[in-house]
Amino acid sequence: MLQGRYMLMAQRIFAFCSLLLLAACATTTETNSTWQTKTDEPRPSFAHLYVLVLSENPVASAAVEQQVKKSLTKRKVETTLGSTTLPATNRQAADFRSKVEQAVKDSDADGVMVVTLLKSQERDEYMPPTVDYLPMASAPMYLGYGPYVSYSHRALYQPGYYQSATDYYLQTQLYSVKTAKPVWQAQSRSMSPYSLKSGAEGYAKSVVSKLDRDGALKR
């Protein structure tokens, strides 16, 4: 009876810990970048970026923009977002471009960061087998050494399996407001994000880190 109770408790603890670990996992995002300036041109750096994510889903656009702002703020870069300055704007409308240009002008930003989703791609992902040792509760000493030893040596084997995964490919284009020309570009691959928030956070950290390392952010 007592052994069954401890086993059930241990399984519940293990399941709870597994959920916490899954929720804490950050989305893996790979980003490759390149300058688009000519060899003899200076590479600009920016102190204030206007961030615009072009997506059919306004909720997703706002989520990505907010995470980019969070990462840029940590680097002391001012940020203005398209989702807050272009509310409920039809991006297919003929005057969308002029509205964006006016919003950028009003923001006084020196750079414009435009993010677009290139494609999403499904794939089969193989999860290798694992052996997880259950966090067993200590057995009461009065049960003797037999049950006590058995509680500390239980393991759960999970065989390997395939699961469906979706990768998202995004392009980031950085424009200089002064010249109205593209100066920096990046392609990012966000691999099977656990949620919209984790995917947006993973992308933002990756692309802003690239901007920083490439010297595109003014210090």
Q: Is 86 helix (H, G, I), strand (E, B) or coil?
A: coil
pTM over 0.85: no
At 21-77, the pLDDT tens digits run: 333 445 689 999 999 998 888 999 999 999 999 988 889 999 999 999 999 999 999
Check pLDDT > 80 for residue 135: no
Mean pLDDT of 169-177: 96
Domain extents for the chain? Answer: 27-127+162-213
Q: Residue 116, Cβ neighbours under 10 Å: how many?
A: 13
Adjacent-strand bridge partners of 132 = 156
Token output for 63: 């989520």
Indicate the DSSP class of residue 108: T
Domain range 27-127+162-213, CATH architecture: 3-Layer(aba) Sandwich (3.40)
What would the DSSP string read from start to end of 150-202?
A: HHTS-EEEE--EEEEEEEEEEEEEEEETTTTEEEEEEEEEEES-SSHHHHHHH
